[in-house]
Chain A
Amino acid sequence: MKWGIKNKVIVLITAVLLMSVGVLSIVISNKVQLQTRSLHYQILEETAYRYGKSVENVLAKIMEDAKLMEIAFVQMMKSGTHRSVLDSMLIRTAKNDDQLLGTWMLWEPNAYDRQDKRYVNTEGHGSTGRVNSYWHWEGDSLINEPNIDWESSTWYNVPRERMKGTLLDPYWYTVSGEPTLLLSAIQPIIFEDEFLGVVGVDIELNNLQNFVNKLKVEDVGYTALLANDGTYVAYPQQEKIGKKISSEENEKELYEHLKNGKYYSKVIQNDKILGEEGHLISIPIKVLNTETPWAFVVVIPTSKIIAESKVIRNWILLLGGIFGCLTVLLLAILVSRQIAPIVSLTNRLTEIVTDDRTEIPLLELKKQTGEVGQLVKAYNELASRLHINKVKLLGLNEELEDRINKRTLQLESALKDLERFSYSISHDLRAPLRHINGFSKLLNGVIESDQEKAKYYSDKVIEASDKMRHMIDDLLKFSRLGRRALVLEEVDLNKLIDQVIKSFETEIEGRIIIWEVETLPTILADFSLMEMVFQNILSNAIKYTSKCEEAKIHIGVKGESEDVIFVKDNGVGFDMRYIDKLFGVFQRLHREEDFSGVGIGLANVKQIVTKHEGEIWAEAEVNEGATFYLKLNCKE
């Protein structure tokens, strides 16, 4: 299939347009996608921070419990309050905050009331007699089970070293026969920069776990809580609870950030919980002035994040596509309008080239402006010029053909004349020769016997030789006439005819000839040759009317066209059957005895008229006279 310029342009524009619209749409949609994603992250982060804050509040609360007790304890120590009040304080705290599993304290030896010795192995005291109550819930009852083995324990050593509130790492403890993950918030008891002991509270991490597990992230995500040492406090999978974070690459990184209290964000290729790609955000949780930040982790599937942006991107692509299509349609219409004249121009030009017509169609000039308009205008100009030229050319062709035809006819007639001429020469010139020969022989036979006859034959010989001389002279004249160049001038036929008629004066003496000469035109001709023409024609008229009593010779102009002149006589005329012999050389329509003459006069006339590009013809009837017509070039 051949593609027209229109289709090509439309396809080209469509391609370019679709490409740019496509690229633009993709760029915009990607941008939007990114924007949407980052917005999503923001929301996700905010959510994570908020949830993290909630966890922090829980942890801060227990830290506060411990701190409040420490402050109270120091006051009580300074005021010398009985050590049993400390227990009351622990009990009240344990009862006031229902998330607490237990409250406890451990004072340095004789640090509170210097009465340790008194309490050795008494109720609520160990063998040291130190203040070391541990109140905890057993079912519905709160029981004091004094602390033991504290020298090497973290809950005692860590706060002592740090000299500030400490959140211990989660640990397993058997509560009511069940292993339970616990967390302790411990406050060192400090008075005048001196470490006097610790006071702490325990909570069951189940509660925190349940709280965290209830937090939903966008319906599809999950949450987790990690303690400072990387222990899972909350996680969708129960078996991980209480266990430390694994040493896998991902988790190791997370642990590093968590330990240092840093924000962490990571795309997890194949999240085990989600079963697909997920986005993890880890928010540090710093509880009061502790140096052991925890981490709240949220993970949501990437698909969720990008789903929305995908919707937006799809909308953009759809709108881009529709816009692109509409634009292409509009462009196609505009382009076809612009190109239509070019297409029809092309068709027209092809037609002109392939089709040899005279008619060259013009193009309608609509509202095209600019180059196309100019093109159409130029084409129309060219087409009309071409049309004119073609018409001219055709005219010229016709004229040329006419001329060729005319010339051919002239040539043919000249050739015919030449044929007749040579025929006549061979035929007619022999006659006198034959006569000379014949009569000479007859003369020979009688030269001695019959003087009279001898004289007769010798006269015949002379006569024949004279005739031959005449014929030869006439032929010479005829052929000279043919070669002679025309000297054209204005010839007044009236004057010429007058002159010719006058030249016959002596010849026609005694005869009655009635001349009727009309006003004749002035023609463009060779004067002396034209004189010869009329001399011959008028001489014939005079000759062939010689047997009339009253000869009438009429010279006039035929009809309205001034260029046809006729010479009409009332003489013997001739038979129209022999018309083709009339203008031949040595052709005679009459016997020599009746009318003398060599028979070359009208041949000469015809030759002259033909040379003048004129025509000559005749009409006649036997004994009814003859009319000769001459068509000559009149002066314009």
Chain B
Amino acid sequence: MRSLQPILYAEDDANDRELTLAALKEANISNRIEVVCDGQEALDFLNYEGHFADRRKENPVLILLDIKMPRLDGLQVLEEIKKHEELSKIPVVMLTSSSMETDLIKSYEMGANSFVVKPVDFEEFYDAVKKLGIYWALLNKTV
């Protein structure tokens, strides 16, 4: 059986990472989660550069991007992804800690597929990620 394509998850905040991963685990998403700590690393992963020069040749099935990150932020990464012919087909979900409209509008304008406001309430966030996971997992199987 061919192993499932990974989910790329870019997040600079360690605590957020831990909490998000915990939520994904709860959602029974069996895809491997590739975690990077900022936008630059996310692009390096996608382009097989830097630390990721030798990784296996496969594109992630889903990209989760935190909007606010040091160096390159989520929007800048999204911009780069959408410029790339092959990568632009990968669904991108933006994660944001605020519901500030400007960020959401910008994300959609730039071609984000969805977004999740990182809720202060863990349960909400858990539900959102769980639903997303199921949806994308199903989508993946039909391809």
A434 touches B97 (CB 8 A): yes
B119 nearest CB neighbor, chain A only: A434
Neighbouring A residues of B18 by C-beta, 8 Å: 460
Interface string of B10-25 (1 = CB under 8 A from A): 0011111011001000
A434 is contacted by which of B16, B100, B123 (Cβ under 8 Å)?
B16
B98 touches A430 (CB 8 A): yes
A431 touches B16 (CB 8 A): yes
Is A589 an interface residue, CB under 8 A from the partner?
yes
Neighbouring B residues of A438 by C-beta, 8 Å: 15, 19, 22, 122, 125
B96 nearest CB neighbor, chain A only: A427
Is A593 an interface residue, CB under 8 A from the partner?
yes
Interface string of B23-62 (1 = CB under 8 A from A): 0000000000000011010000000000000000000000
B16 touches A427 (CB 8 A): no
Neighbouring B residues of A587 by C-beta, 8 Å: 70
What is the distance, in angstroms, from B23's C-beta to the closest C-beta of chain A? 9
A426 touches B98 (CB 8 A): yes
A437 is contacted by which of B12, B14, B72, B122 (Cβ under 8 Å)?
B122
Neighbouring B residues of A464 by C-beta, 8 Å: 15
B100 touches A430 (CB 8 A): no
A593 is contacted by which of B14, B40, B100, B123 (Cβ under 8 Å)?
B14
Please measure, in the bound complex, the distance between the C-alpha atom of A587 and the C-alpha atom of B70, giving whole angstroms: 7
Interface string of A427-458 (1 = CB under 8 A from B): 11011011101110110000000000000000
Q: A430-B97, A442-B22 are in contact. Are A435 and B15 (CB under 8 A)?
A: yes
Please measure, in the bound complex, the distance between the C-alpha atom of A590 and the C-alpha atom of B14, giving whole angstroms: 13
B120 touches A439 (CB 8 A): no
Please measure, in the bound complex, the distance between the C-alpha atom of A464 and the C-alpha atom of B16, giving whole angstroms: 11
Q: A430-B120, A437-B120, A438-B122 are in contact. Are A588 and B70 (CB under 8 A)?
A: yes
Neighbouring A residues of B100 by C-beta, 8 Å: 423, 426-427
Which of A423, A434, A588, A590 counts the most chain B CB atoms within 10 A? A434
Interface string of B99-123 (1 = CB under 8 A from A): 0100000000000000000111111
Is A367 an interface residue, CB under 8 A from the partner?
no
Please measure, in the bound complex, the distance between the C-alpha atom of A426 and the C-alpha atom of B13, giving whole angstroms: 16
A463 nearest CB neighbor, chain B only: B15
B13 touches A590 (CB 8 A): no
B97 touches A441 (CB 8 A): no
Is A592 an interface residue, CB under 8 A from the partner?
yes
Is B71 an interface residue, CB under 8 A from the partner?
yes
Please measure, in the bound complex, the distance between the C-alpha atom of A609 and the C-alpha atom of B94, giving whole angstroms: 36
B70 touches A589 (CB 8 A): yes
What is the distance, in angstroms, from B38's C-beta to the closest C-beta of chain A? 6
Which of A435, A587, A592, A593 counts the most chain B CB atoms within 10 A? A435
Please measure, in the bound complex, the distance between the C-alpha atom of A441 and the C-alpha atom of B71, giving whole angstroms: 31
A441 is contacted by which of B16, B68, B122 (Cβ under 8 Å)?
B122
Is A3 an interface residue, CB under 8 A from the partner?
no
Please measure, in the bound complex, the distance between the C-alpha atom of A423 and the C-alpha atom of B14, giving whole angstroms: 21
User: A residues touching B (Cβ–Cβ < 8 Å)?
Assistant: 423, 426-428, 430-431, 433-435, 437-439, 441-442, 460, 464, 575, 577-578, 581, 587-593
The 7 closest A-B pairs by CB, nearest first: A438-B19, A435-B15, A588-B70, A438-B122, A441-B122, A427-B98, A430-B97
A-B contact pairs, 30 of them (CB 8 A): A423-B98, A423-B100, A426-B98, A427-B97, A427-B98, A430-B97, A430-B118, A431-B16, A434-B16, A434-B97, A434-B118, A434-B120, A435-B13, A437-B121, A437-B122, A438-B19, A438-B122, A441-B123, A460-B15, A464-B15, A575-B71, A578-B71, A578-B72, A587-B70, A589-B70, A590-B71, A591-B12, A591-B37, A592-B12, A592-B13
